[in-house]
Structure 1
Amino acid sequence: MLPILIRMNILTVLLFAIVSFAYGQDRKISSYINPGCSYCPPDKTLVYTKAIGSDNTIHQIWDFTGGLPTIIFVIGTVNSSLHITWDGTNPDKFLMSDEPRYSFAAAIDKLYEYDDVEDVGHIDPSVPQKAYSLRHMYWARNASKMTETEAMVAVRGHFQDRAGLLEMKLDLLPFNDYAVQLPHLIHTANSTLVDVSVVNVTSSRAYNASRFALHLLLVSTDPAGDTMRYSMRRSLDDEHTPGVFEIVEIKTPESSRNSDGGFIQFRPVAYTQQERSVASSTNAHISNFNKTLIPARSTLDKFYSYKYDPHDLLVQDIFISFGETGDGYYKQHNYTAWSFTIGYGEPPIESFSLFVIVIISIGLGVPVLLALSGVTYVVVKKYRARNAPTRFTDDD
């Protein structure tokens, strides 16, 4: 009985390994910084990635040249290509070789400061607030990695009129796994990991309870009359993000209908220290969607106005704000970091790790083994009692 149980556990582990291997690298990626720009200085950063799959190619543009951090996904045919022309050190046109099948984009255009006098954590239209445009932010490139197995860039944004920084890191890893850093989001060949940190930003003297929120613009080639959708679902467990069982997903209409559109996925948690831990975590809040317009002369405007009528695009905005009651507001640590993934297709669903599967297998296997052993003992004992040899005495 024991060898059978051991074989069952080994088969379970092997099955998990086979499934994990099947979700390995399934796209061939190539990436470039400022492709086609001969004289771009270090404060000009545009990354173009091309991820070729079996039935389509995902083109991504990560742009910081116009001040507004912008991520654009374009889905084309397997053999499609994207060419960027430049006006000096600024991107001018984005030319696709084939008609795009679909496109989805996100940009951070403003940082909001709000006076959370009620100490509720999230931004509210009724509280005092100020918007700081990122249009003229200066972005310096800190690090980059462009290989066949990873595309990564880290940048640091400087405000013109105040102290403090916005730090961002974008990372494309073309295989299915969990991110190394908390909250350990799932990355795939169809998505990009994004980390955003608000570091030592000077708060307004007029506010006693300052918090900060990111203002996100979302664009897709879905009909303008439709709407993005978001949901919060419970995860299997908190193995990868201790204490956080929820996952927030924002989907474009095409993604909601056919799992063939764009999505943003994140855990509703942020961190108030560089060393991320449960002790330094706070809440991340999402607002309702609002209709809006693509900012004029932005990279979004240059990309979409060349191929589409802006009035036919779905353009909405949301706030992502950070904090919870009693956490001491932003001034407690002068640091807030938040992570999300942005991608194409069906958002990834978390699964149990190999370690957990082994533990579950052992946990279920031992009681089953004990139960089978007990049943076997009882059956054998009854069988022996029924078939015991007859003893003859002298009287017989």
Structure 2
Amino acid sequence: MTNLVLVFAAFNLLPLFVLVSSADYNTFLDVEQKNYDRNVTTTINPKCPTNECVNFTLVHVQQEGIADVLHHIWTMENVPTFFYARTELNTEMLIDWEKMLSGNYSQAISFNKEPQYFAAVLIFKFFMYNDLNDTGVIPETDNFDIVSYSTKKMSWELKSSNCSGNISASVAFRLRSYDGVELDSSSNIEITLTAYGTRGRSPILPHLAFTENSTQVDFVFDHVETKESFTNARLAMELAAVVSEPDSRFTLNVSQSLDDEYTPGVFKLMEIHSALNQHWIQWRPVCYTSTQRDIGDSTGLYQTDIRNVSDDNILDNTLLEWLSLDLDTRFLLMKGFNVSFGVEGDGFYRASNYTAWTLVTGHGRPVGDQFSLMVILVMAIGLGLPAIVLILGGAAIALRNHRNSKDDLLLSD
């Protein structure tokens, strides 16, 4: 009996030992903002002549570390592009505003020291499609049940910015017009970009982990006017990534987690990373259908496989062409993928007229899922207490049996 109790107790304690031994006590997941690792400085249209850049917005965020600097350049002009370059310390970004303002953008932006690495995420198109079969999967682009909107025809305005401190930087852009037609006042498409000087988790769901080398991108589609003939309208978008690596392969990984502490009800984490693991894009397969971003106001999403972007002219008059880099952007191999918002049975976009989605992209290695100290303690208590009770109970039974055996011996004498 005693051996059976001990075996059962060991069986209960084994998961606890495995959990504790494999847990990664990375305190940066909940690090306080004051313990930042990079100093963040932000300028909008740096050194642009006064009142000359009213209709032009270029955001420059510097994340200065001990040994290098990450220069982020964000712009919504022509094609929304979120670029970063890793450089040596004391490297300056230079802008020839005379060329830029005259419309001669080519190689108007440069660095006084050649970047060690650079990468970018671009948004080429937004889609609206009629999901007749309620699958949530975007149809082929030549299907008559899909309409695409090129971002080259979009005009954006800077809605807000919060760049006063050296801990983080955040800017929000709002779509103003498409192909010269003003957006309806009741409709709103916003893109918010945030960079931090430390590691932590976003305060909003799905609470993605960010690093001191990353950019968080939030998308909001609020009361977007859908095509009248599209009874089952859904929204989607085309994104692309480009890196300064000789091997342009990108890999999409799907990781499963036993813990949904940070994103209730979602146990998957999607991650695209470059061949040399220097650039990554990360998101949860969930989007939210209200400003509350609650588990009850959420739905899923689908992404396509990674593919080559073969349009030779797609980078014309984009930020990548404006940059003077030691690499001809015409020969950069670009990888793209589509993201479609919503899954079968969720009522389509019209059910809420609101969709919010978040991704994080950055340099180096992303933060993986780890059990927090709170979860470890809860599991330890949940697994440990029954085991302790079993051990104490087994010891008490063994002691009683031992005493009874002594009493039997005395009586027999």
Which interval holds the TM-score relative to the shorter structure?
0.7 to 0.9
**Residue 283 of structure 2 corresponds to residue 272 of structure 1:** no
3-state SS, counterpart of residue 68 of structure 1: coil
Letter in 2 for 1:48: H
- 1:324 has 2:339 as partner: no
Please show how residues 1-396 of structure 1 align to structure 2 within 5 Å.
19-20=26-27, 24=31, 25-39=36-50, 40-41=52-53, 43-64=55-76, 66-86=77-97, 87-88=100-101, 93-125=108-140, 127-128=143-144, 129-146=146-163, 147-159=165-177, 160-161=180-181, 162-163=183-184, 164-223=187-246, 226-255=248-277, 261-288=278-305, 289-292=307-310, 293=312, 294-303=314-323, 306-374=325-393, 376-377=395-396
Name the TM-score, length of structure 2 as normaliser: 0.81
The one-character-per-residue Cα deviations of 1:49-107 (angstroms, maximum 9, x if unpaired) are 1112233322111112x142210021122443322332229776222232222111011
Q: Which deviates further from its counterpart, 331-340 or 156-165?
A: 156-165
Alpha-carbon displacement from aligned partner over 1:103-138 (angstroms, at most 9, x marks no partner): 110111221122222211121206322221222433
How far residue 41 of structure 1 moved from its aligned partner, in angstroms, is 4.8
Alignment-mate amino acid for residue 77 of structure 1: E
* Structure with more relative contact order (C-alpha pairs < 8 Å, separation 6 or more): 2
Distance change (3 Å), C-alpha of 1:351 and 1:17: closer
> What SS is found at the alignment partner of 1:226?
coil
The whole-number CA distance in structure 1 between the counterparts of 2:102 and 2:57 is 10
Q: RMSD between aligned alpha carbons?
A: 3.1
Per-residue deviation, residues 153-203 of structure 1 (Å, max 9, x unmatched): 112112233533320111112222221111111111111111011222222
Q: Deviations over 1:299-348 (max 9, x none)?
A: 12212x64311243221222111111122222222221111001111121
Alpha-carbon distance in structure 1 between the residues aligned to 2:397 and 2:345: 61
**Aligned amino acid, residue 143 of structure 2:** V
Amino acid at match of 1:155: F
TM-superposed deviation, 1:248: 0.7
SS in 2 for 1:242: coil
Paired letter, 2:117: Y
* Shift in alpha-carbon separation, 1:387–1:209, aligned structure 2, 3 A: closer
SS at match of 1:331: helix
Note the C-alpha offset of 1:366.
1.7
| AA matched with 1:362 | I
* Unpaired stretches in structure 2, ≥5 consecutive residues: 1-15
Alpha-carbon distance in 2 for matches of 1:368, 1:352 = 22
Contact 2:282 2:360 survives alignment (8 Å) = yes
Looking at structure 2, the residues matched to 355 and 101 of structure 1 have their Cα atoms a distance apart, in angstroms, of: 40
Once the two structures are TM-superposed, the CA of residue 139 in structure 1 deviates from its matched residue by: 2.1
Give me the whole-angstrom Cα distance separating, in 1, the residues matched to 2:114 and 2:398. Answer: 72
Report sequence identity in percent: 31
Tell me the CA shift for residue 222 of structure 1: 2.1
